[in-house]
Amino acid sequence: MALKNKSMYAILGILNLAPSTGYDIKKYSDKVLSGFWNENFGHIYPTLKMMLEDGMINILPGEINEKKVRYAITEKGRMEYEAWLLEETVQQPARSEFMLKLLFSSSLPREKVIFMLEDYKELHEKNVGKYLEMQKDLEQGNAIARDRVPFINAVLRRGILSGEAVIRWCDETIEEMRRA
């Protein structure tokens, strides 16, 4: 078998919920996974092609629109996917340009640093707001399998708690910058 990139698993996970087109996968990724995952077309389409060749997925026949290609996970794909779920996850190194900059900002005027932090805080406030919205939507229970709810909620809670921690850190650091 060819390469096993992480995008493949994201795609298998999405197709395991429902057969989808490449476009659907992108939409799901942008809407639901954004915050901790991202995909782009330049990656999705070639990966789908490769997965099709490997027999992980197949094409569902006969849509209204001939241009539309809807893929479904195969038995082989599901096995690969479930093996991945059970694998140990090695954590990959993060890259935060913001933190890199901040570490090196001792020569900047303090006002500039404070401005950077306020901006960053605002961004995270917006994120937390989005997660809270999504949590409300989830409570209304829109056509989502009941057994998946605790998992979606866990992901949203993570976004909220982490975001709030960053906001508190921003406040604290802004204070510190004003004093120092």
Partner DNA sequence: GGTTTCATGTAACATGTTACATGATTCT
Partner DNA sequence: AGAATCATGTAACATGTTACATGAAACC
Q: Which residues bind its own copies (CB under 8 A)?
A: 6, 9-10, 13, 16, 32-38, 82, 84-86, 88-89, 91-108, 112, 116, 119, 123, 145, 147-148, 150-155, 157-158, 161-162, 164-166, 168-169, 172-173, 176-177, 180
| Residues pairing with 60 in the sheet | 70
Residue closer to its own copies (CB basis): 64 or 145? 145
| Partner that binds at residue 49, options its own copies, DNA, none, CB closer than 5 to 8 Å by kind | DNA
Which one-letter amino acid corresponds to residue 62?
A: G
Residue closer to its own copies (CB basis): 58 or 173? 173
Residue closer to its own copies (CB basis): 60 or 102? 102
Site string for DNA, 28-57 (x = CB under 7 A): ----------xxxxxx-xx-xx--------
Tokens of 130: 């989005």
In eight-state DSSP terms, residue 106 is G
Helices 6-17 and 75-86 cross at an angle (nearest 10°) of 120
Is residue 5 a contact residue for DNA (CB under 7 A)?
Answer: yes
Q: b/e map of 31-69 (b: 16 or more CB within 10 Å)?
A: eebebeeebeeebbeebbebbeebebbbeeeeeeeeeeb
CA–CA distance, 26 with 44 (Å, rounded to integer): 8
Residue ranges that bind DNA, judged by CB under 7 A: 3-7, 21-24, 27, 38-43, 45-46, 48-49, 65, 67-70, 92-93, 95
